[in-house]
Amino acid sequence: MITLKEALQLSKDELNKFTNNLKTKIDENKELNAYIDVKYVGEGIPIAIKDNIQVKDWSVTSASKILQGYIAPYNATVINKLLDAGLSPFGRTNMDEFAMGSTTETSYYGKTLNPINPEHVPGGSSGGSAAAVGAGLAIAALGSDTGGSIRQPAAYCGIVGMKPTYGRVSRYGLGAYASSLDQIGPMTQNVEDAAILYDIISGSDEKDSTNAMMDDKVVPNLNAARKLTIAVLPQYIENASDAIKEAYAKAIQALKSQGHTIVEKEMMDAKYDISAYYITATAEATTNLGRYDGVRYGNKVEGKNLEETYFKTRSEGFGDEVKRRILLGNFVLSSGYYEAYYVKAQKTRHIIKDEYAKIFQDVDLILSPVAPTVAPKFGELSSPMQMYLSDIYTISVNLAGLPALSLPIMKNSDGIPVGLQFIAKAYDEQTLFDGSLSLENAVAYKA
């Protein structure tokens, strides 16, 4: 598969030939279920789009039954930015329903397979985007990251996934899960491509009230030779699998070989991150999903009266995981529990943000695992709690609004990719990409 950087150099005829070949390759690999639908807007470089990002005149469903039949009336801001740069939306990729999941098994369209080994999950919720890039069925893709939903599937599928600082990429046109956590980001074959795609989709947007209104670019100043001070977290990774620990040690040695300074730091037990995240995310999801009632959007199941119509529509339209999170969100926001749960979660969120700020007083980047294990096999995560715990290393980044990038480091003894992530201070994407490019060069991962 050609890289995004290479695709930008293709002539119109070469691009048309490539796109036709790509469509054929996707048809030949339908069993992966990476794409829900293949469509092509314009004549630009084809970019796969997660099924919760609005593309005008496309069906956009967030992989849910309740949104079957909904057609987007406008483009998300990131789609307009792609088109302005000569890139084009190319197909909707599968995902966990309303981005709620870590394996892409909650999708109304069925599960996506990991292209490295189909017995393993591709991760989630952006599993379709990760699988498409990992299988060579996309040059690059857009995903969304609420608690690791770009970085974790990227790590599982052996590709690069980047979550921008909150506010650096417009959320206008993104199907909302948790509004204070969601960010759109690039999923690519390498770090440089991620930087190129990030520069294209980031920037100011008056349609998004949470936008940072910043337009600086990272690609012109990419510098893998910069010498950085990088924090490692020995205590933080104690509960990770042996493969993760091995990759962590390999990455540390690779960074030292590049001349970076390594310092040890500590962070509080990640169990507090899990609690704060799931209380915050489900509370916001409950509010955001209240609009899906069968009256304004998508499917409608008629009842004897309005209340019964709401009940039937939402009961039949939402999957089990979405219902579970709506129930939890309503619980933590209900009278008598709001102070005990939601308010405490926000206080914990503030502590997490302060903890990161303290570490970044001394370092440029933090090296962290993405997940406690490599991609599990289908069926290994037998309970919702096990699925939630697979996000233990990614969710604090969203709670703090920081940028992070996942990249593959090695493969385990079974040939399954092992990824790690760099975390940077807010709005310091330049350092994030510089350090990531240096590590990528040093480990020389082979797909």
Structure token digits, residue 435: 């350090």
* pLDDT > 90? residue 382: no
The enclosing H or E element of 163 equals strand 160-163
Rounded distance between C-alpha atoms, residue 318 and residue 191, angstroms: 36
Distance of CA 88 to the CA centre of its chain: 20
For residues 256-271, give the mean pLDDT: 93
Query: 3-state DSSP helix/strand/coil percent for the chain, to nearest 5?
Result: 40, 15, 45
Higher per-residue confidence, 447 vs 5 = 5
CA distance 203 to 318: 34
Which residues fall within 8 angstroms of residue 335, CB to CB, at 6 or more apart? none
Q: What is the pLDDT of residue 385?
A: 76
Contact between 124 and 344 (Cβ < 8 Å): no
Residues 6+ apart with CB under 8 A from 34: 26, 48, 93, 94, 112, 115, 122, 128, 129, 131, 132, 135, 137, 138
Question: In this structure, what DSSP letter does residue 341 have?
Answer: I
- Among 154-158, 201-205, 315-319, 365-369, the least confident range: 315-319
**Cβ contact 247:418 at 8 Å:** yes
With a cut of 80, say whether residue 180 has pLDDT above it. yes
Tokens of 154: 């990227």
Structure tokens given for 70 = 């909904």
425: left (phi over 0), alpha (psi -120 to 50) or beta: beta
CATH architecture observed for domain 4-266+355-443: Alpha-Beta Complex (3.90)
Q: What is the pLDDT of residue 435?
A: 98
Look up 144 and say whether it is catalytic: no
Select which of 62, 144, 149, 406 is catalytic: 149
**Is 25 in the active site?**
no
Candidate list 125, 368, 390, 436, residue with the active-site label? 125
What's phi and psi for 407, nearest 5 deg? -140, 150
Which residue, chain included where needed, has tokens 């989709």? Answer: 201
**What was the pLDDT predicted at 17?**
94
Overall size of the chain counted in residues: 447
85-111 pLDDT, tens digit each = 999 999 999 999 999 999 999 999 999
Residue 295 has pLDDT above 90, yes or no: no
Residues facing 367 on adjacent strands: 422
Ranges of H-type helices in 291-394: 306-317, 320-333, 344-359, 384-389
Most distant pair of Cα atoms in the chain: their distance:
71
> Is there a catalytic annotation at residue 382?
no
Q: What is the predicted pLDDT for the residue at 57?
A: 95
What is the structure's pLDDT at 181?
A: 97
Domain ranges of the chain: 4-266+355-443
Mean pLDDT, to the nearest integer, of 322-351?
A: 92
Alpha-carbon span 406 to 175, nearest angstrom: 23
Separation CA 103–CA 13 (nearest Å): 38
How many Å apart are CA 371 and CA 417, to the nearest integer? 12
Nearest alpha carbon to residue 432 among 244, 224, 166, 171: 224
How far apart CA 77 and CA 144 sit, in angstroms, is 14
Task: Please provide the average confidence, as pLDDT, over all residues in the chain.
Answer: 95
Write down the pTM of the prediction.
0.96
